[in-house]
Structure formats: structure tokens, C-alpha cells
Structure 1
Amino acid sequence: MTFQQVFGYEPAVRYSAPGRVNLIGEHTDYNDGYVLPFAIDRRTTSDIAPREDRVIRVASSFDPEGGPVSLSLDDLDPARMDGWSAYVFGIAWALREQAGADLSERTGFDVFIDSDVPVGAGLSSSAAIECGVALAFTDLWELGLDRKTLARVGQYSENHAVGAPTGIMDQSASLLGEQDAVVFLDCRTLDTAVVDLALEANGLEVLVVDTRVEHAHATGGYKARRDSCEKGAQVLGVPALRDVAVDDLPRAQELLDDETFRRVRHIVTEDQRVLDTVRTLREQGPRAIGELLLASHASMRDDFEISVPELDLAVETAMANGAVGARMTGGGFGGAAIALVDREARDRIAAAVTAAFAAAGYHEPNVFTVHAAQGARRDA
């Protein structure tokens, strides 16, 4: 399925935006903390053509029988948005509501979405749609908004139009990513720094193990963790868990029930692990971050309780077969794990993980490598 097949003519422009892998820093984003994601060489494309009326029509390769879905710019409202098309319509709505764009004199678009970012794997296929569309609409409507503003637009859309209570990390990575580098993001100030990964120079690759256990952020597990974090911050009297130091954890344990304390402990220690990873990358390089990745996984498994047996098996098997480090990545309750591996060991480790899943009676995982890539862009 293509734009031409759906709409009967050729698109005017193509934009694309990448999915992302979070190297470390999970669930810290909505706690005003630190994250360290990178854009990946799996992208979502948006073929677009302007219309003469005020209608946006959207179609996609992953909904081939649904046909285009239409919504007028005069009717932009989350109550009128449903399913995957909300990721497109929501951006137009958020540009108006969050960024203050005047859409009263704008015309609409025909939009066709295609993607090779795996859905449900924790690689942020949703942000890839949002960021490509946000950049396209901003350019074509000549709104003059910068990429940090577009990251906020994408988050606002996902929170309020889609209904997923996510932070700003995914959109920031998809918009600000650079080749062979990670984006060090302070989620409170939105200050960013690009930090060299230098994987190629060190003979390393990132192996992704998509467990094929699908998750959905709009459902209960993610929201429950966020609610626990907000409860912990309220009891501790801080604006967000970003403001709790590792040294404050003994006091937190006295004040909080066990479950809430463990949720808080993950966030506080994960923030510190992000800072430690940035320092280690800068001072020692990527081969020195393995223990930090493992500690992050253990914290997500035991304190935040968002791992699943398939993710644990992927991490354990990768490490047993020589990975430098490994952890689950993404929101949890399924999705993917990542392993930092020597290039020459990649195929052996991938085969070992696949064999371990078969022996455990799990679905066969989708195992592939990703490379840190450029963020959202106009392609044609």
C-alpha cells in the first residue's frame, strides 16, 4: 500500500522520524529526571500532500483495509480521535493547543504513514509517527517552531489526545538524535547534550531482542507506576522524585509503604545511573557501562516490577554468552531488551537467545541490531 494507491496521486513531500532505544534511564522522564536515549536506524515515513480544503486525511500501511480517516481542522478535538490516527490528528491539535499555532487560515493534508519501527516493542513507534508529522506540519504550515518545542507538542498530544501518560524522552530522542551518539536529556529543563557512543570505534553493537510480548502505555501498569511516583513525591514533600537524592532513601523508607518506597528507589537510583553512564562514556568509553546496564535491569525487575520472564531470560542469556551489558528497555510489561555486544559475537548471542526462548516455550523473539541515527528530517 502506498500514498498513490490510497489517494490516487503522488505525494508532494516525504518526512521521516526514527524510533528510539533508551540506553538507560527508565521511567525517570515523567519524574523530571535524566534519560539517555538514542535515535535508531528504524524509521517511520510520512508522505504528505497539501489539500485545498481544511481536511486532514490519514492512511497507513499497517491499516491497509481501513481506508483513509478524515478530520477537519475545524473539528480538532481528542474526543473525535480514535485508534492510530490519533497520533496524526493529535499533532495538529497539539500544535494549536500547546504551541499556540494559529490554524484558522491553514489548509489540510493527505498523509500516508509507513514504518519499519516494530510496534509494541518498546522502541517508540508512536513517537516516530508524532515527530515526523510534527516536523512536516511545522514546515508546511511555516510555523517556525524549534525541535524542543516540537518534542513538547508530541508529548502533549500523546498525553491528551492519545491518552498515554508518557514523558518527553521519546519525542526528544526522535527529534534530536545524531549518528553514533546518545541524547543526554534533563527532563525538567529540557537541556540536552549529545554524548558520543563510539560503538563503531570500539567494535560494539546494540542487539535488540523484541520479545513479541506486546504492551500498551495507555493501559493500567504504566499509569499505576506513575501514580506511585507522584504519591512518593507528595509524601516526601518534593515537586518530583528528581529532587530526592540517593542519600535521602533511608528517610523515604521510613515514610513510605514498601511498594511505594521500591518505586521511588528505582527512580532515584536510576537517575544516578544515568549520570554515572554519561560520565563513564566520556571518561572510559562504552565498554565500561555494562554493570550500570545490569543494575538498571535489576532495579526495573525487582523495585519497579515492570519486567516479564521473557525480558529477564533475554538479559540473562545475553550475559551468559558474553554480552558487555544488557537490560530491558522501554516502558516494560513486555517489549524489548537490549544487549551491548562485540560485533563478532552478535550472531552467536542472537542464536543463543533464540534457542533459550524456544527451550522455555516462549514465542520466537525478533532479534536485530540497531545503530544510533539522525533524528527527524525531510527526506524528499
Structure 2
Amino acid sequence: MRNAQQLLAGLSAGRWDAAFASLYGCAGRSAADCRARYARLVEGFTAAFGGGEREFAFYSAPGRTELGGNHTDHQHGRVLAASVDLDVIALAAPNGTDTVRVLSEGFKMDVVDLARLAPVEEEANHSASLIRGVCAAFAEKGWPVRGFDAYTTSAVLKGSGLSSSAAFEVLIGNIANHLFAGGAETPVTIAQIGQYAENVFFGKPSGLLDQMASSVGGVVAMDFADPAAPVVRPLSLDLAGQGYALCIVDTGADHADLTGEYAAIPAEMKAVAAALGGQVLRDVPKEAFYKALPALRKKLGDRALLRAFHFYADDERAALQAEALAAGEFGRYLRLVTESGQSSFDYLQNVFCRTKPAEEQPVALALALAGTLLAGRGAYRVHGGGFAGTIQAYVPLGFVPAFKAGMEALLGEGMCHVVSIRPVGGVHLAESD
């Protein structure tokens, strides 16, 4: 038990510097900068919830970048992903009640009564539903979940394509795991809990890629053939050593009312699978799909089939990307990245929004400019969910300033983010003596 002043004194004394080095050393952030950022958490918590002695603890969960397997996870496919150095952080402490209060900087406070651990219709698509869903999952596992207070701040900007929602879910999962489960839940089960909260309570039918990348950390190849027991393979990727930087470019488009666009992809893929006796496309051999194409077209139309074509190719491609990284064949890896991006554009069709005016095509325009600027160097692709989000580019180190300037001249200042791969996933930050 300690008060806020003792917590601040511990930060100044460097008691979390070792943890900061493991989380942010890849991005070259100084201990002083990290201390100042976490000190603002203490100040925000005190302003929101008052002083007094509490069982305080710091937590961090990173954003993620999808490296391979675009929209393959929800079909129990293979993916390649990595955590990044941009994270959401929290200071949390039990409050002795059955109410969870979470104040995220810049937003209204979420208040969740733990007496009700079922989905609340009016919370759908709001962060309170994620908190309730995570707590419900821990309670269902038998953990004695009680109320806590948390103040959070995020460098994973909403709409940045780095999955701020998954990072938030993993953050709440780590808080609950530390406070009520004694750290017994693994990064994999915390990711599954986050997906459950997003699917059942938030109302978005996402796969497991985002939560797994944020929770596990580093570069990971994942196979979701059995979603209850995914196969996770850590890999190494030293982009700077290869002479490249990873850029995530925000197209600046409006993300409102896109749940239907996202949901249509798994729905159409599952419709193809169902017509062939499976639940998801991973259940159906691709040869059976090709053989049934004429009948499937009559029943489901063209777009569902095109999206299935993408799944089968990108599922295999994600595994090939992992093999290329393991073998140190970075040039081959980049070629596969380019192929994935082309497949997403041509077959998956998550670049254009039917719900937006035809003249608005920001993702396609950003891809066109990225290809022109890179002129055959590196690679680029649509990133994550697509539609109105971000693109990803592998840019030669010496060309980063020119690439960033070119993209931001079109899209606006601050829209091109250079990210580093973080070796650590969601964590409770441990102190050192």
C-alpha cells in the first residue's frame, strides 16, 4: 500500500526503468521520457479518483501491426503479426466495491456495475462493453473479480490501424489477471478473453489476430486451426538491420458506420464454407472449393467467391512469409507482402466502401501514391481491416523522410507513423530494486 507521492518518488528513483527499457528500448525512448509519461498517469488517477493509500500498479498493452494474413484469422487461418512500440498504459488499484471505473484520457468515465455481467444493449460499440465483457470472462473462469479504478492514456490512436480496441481489451485483461487471478491466465487466454468481449459484448465479429499480437508480443506466426489452442511461433525480424523502416499511414477517412463492411467479409466467407459443409473456410479443402465454383456462383454470387480465393491464397502466403523470415530471406518476404496487398485489393476488396460516395477512395489513393514514391523499393499493402483505415509500407531507411513528406503532403501532417516492433506484449510492469 502506498500513496501517490510515494509512487511518484519511486518513478523518480528509477524503480520502473528496467521495465521501461524492455518495453520502449526498441524505439529509443529515454528513461526520463518514460518516467514523465507514467507520472502523468499518477496525476490523472489522483485527479479522477482521489488520493489515499492504494495497491497501485502500472500496466501496458501495445498496438499491433498485421504483417501477413489479411482477414484470415476469423476463418481459422494462419497469420503473421507483431506488437509495436505505441501502447495504451494504465495505473489501476482495487476500490473495495463491485464497480469498475475506468477513465481514459480525453473520454468520459466508464462505470461498470459487476452485478450485471451480461451484454448491455446500450453499451454496444462502446468501451464500457469491453470492460464488462473482460470482467465477465474472468468471473466465468471462477476468478473473484471485484471493482477497481483505472486511469489510462493511449499512444495507439483510435483509427490508426494499430488496433486500439484490442490493446484496450488486453490492458483490462492484464489488470484483472494481476488483481484477481494472481497472474494465472496466459497471454493466449487473455487474448481469447479480449476477443470474447469484442464479439459478444461490443458486437464486432473480429478474429483473434489483433488480441493475440497485442497480448503475446514480438513477431509471431499464428495458426488458428483450433482457436481454443492456437499454435503461436515467435519469430525474429530486425527491420533496421535489413535497412528498412515500417510505416503505417493513416488515410484520414471517416470510420463511422463501417461495422457492416467488416462483418460482410467473414459472413460471406462462412457462407461459402457452409455451402461446402464447413463452418469456416479452413474446414474446406481449396480443391473442393475450386470444383464447386459453378454451383457456388449461382448460390452466392461473385464477391463471396473472390473473397474465398483471397483466403486460400493469403492463408498459404502467411505461412510462406513466416518461412521466409525464419530463413533470413527478407527479399522473398517483401515480395510476399506485395502479393498479399494485391490480393486484398483485387479479391478481398477491403479497399472501397459501398457505404461511402464513389468519389471517396482514400485507401486506394494512398496505395497508389505509396507505390509511386517507393518506385519498386520495399513493399506496401492495405493494413488490417481496410475500407477506411490505414496502409502499411516497408521503406528504405534513407528514404523515410522523403516518403513521409510525400504521403503527408497528400494526407496531412502527422498521418505517416514510423513504428518499431516491440518485443513484449501486454504486461503488469514490475518494479526493480
* CA spacing shift, 1:244–1:219, aligned 2, 3 Å: same
- 1:214, distance to aligned residue in structure 2 (A): 3.7
> How large is the Cα RMSD of the aligned pairs?
2.1
Preserved CA contact (<8 Å) 1:197 1:285: no
Q: After superposition, what is the alpha-carbon deviation per residue over 1:61-115, rounded to whole angstroms, capped at 9, x for unaligned?
A: 030xx3x332222122211662222222221012223xx2243xx4310111210
Matched residue of 1:321: which SS?
helix
Instruction: Please tell me whether residue 4 in structure 1 is matched to residue 46 in structure 2.
Output: yes
Query: What are the Cα deviations for residues 255-296 of structure 1, in whole angstroms up to 9, with x where unaligned?
Result: 322121101111111101101111122224333322222221
What residue ranges of structure 2 are gaps of 5+ in the alignment? 1-42, 353-360
| Alpha-carbon distance in 2 for matches of 1:363, 1:253 | 44
Q: Choose which of 302, 321, 344 in structure 2 pairs with 1:300.
A: 344
Q: For the residues of structure 1 that align with 2:177 and 2:137, how far apart are their CA atoms?
A: 12
Which secondary structure state, in structure 2, belongs to the residue aligned with residue 107 of structure 1?
coil
Distance 2:178 2:208 in 1: 21
Give 2:63's aligned residue: 19
Asked if 1:74 is matched to 2:115, the reply is: yes
What is the TM-score normalised by the length of structure 2?
0.79
Superimposed CA distance per residue, residues 127-171 of structure 1 (whole angstroms, 9 cap, x where no aligned partner): 101101101211111352112111111100110011110011111
Match of 1:74, SS state, is coil
2:318 paired with 1:274:
yes
Sort the Cα spacing of 1:378 and 1:214 in 2 relative to 1 into closer, same or farther, 3 A. farther
In 1, the alpha carbon distance for the partners of 2:189 and 2:257 equals: 23
Which residue type is aligned with residue 154 of structure 1? Answer: G
- Could you tell me which residue of structure 2 aligns to residue 124 of structure 1? 163
Match of 2:425 among 368, 375, 380: 375
Work out whether residues 307 and 333 of structure 1, in 8 Å CA contact, stay in contact via their aligned partners in 2: yes
CA distance in 2, matches of 1:315, 1:327: 7
Query: Is the alpha carbon distance of 1:205 and 1:287 closer, same or farther for their aligned partners in structure 2, counting shifts above 3 Å?
Result: farther
Q: What is the TM-score of this pair, normalised by structure 1? A: 0.90
- 1:232 shift after superposition: 0.5
1:95 is matched with which residue?
A: 138
Distance in 1, matches of 2:350 and 2:419, equals: 23
In 1: Cα distance, 2:391 partner to 2:165 partner: 18
Q: Separation in 2 of the partners of 1:252 and 1:302?
A: 21
SS of the counterpart of 2:381?
strand
**What is the number of residues matched between the two proteins?**
365
Equivalences for residues 1-380 of structure 1 within 5 A: 2-9=44-51, 12-63=56-107, 66=108, 68-79=109-120, 82=123, 83-97=126-140, 100-103=141-144, 106-143=145-182, 144-178=184-218, 182-189=219-226, 190-215=230-255, 219-257=259-297, 258-308=302-352, 309-322=361-374, 323-355=377-409, 357=410, 366-373=415-422, 374-379=424-429
Q: Which amino acid aligns with 1:20?
A: R
Equivalent in the alignment of 2:32: none
Q: How far 1:252 moved relative to its partner?
A: 4.1
Specify whether residues 225 and 80 from structure 1 end up closer, same or farther in structure 2 by C-alpha distance, changes over 3 A only: closer
Deviations 1:209-267 (A, max 9, x none): 01122436872111111110110001122342124455455324223221211011111
Aligned partners of 2:76 and 2:121: how far apart in 1? Answer: 31
Q: 1:338 to 1:252 in 2, by over 3 A?
A: farther
Task: Please identify the structure whose Cα radius of gyration is greater.
Answer: 2
Seq. identity, %: 30
Q: Which amino acid aligns with 1:168?
A: L
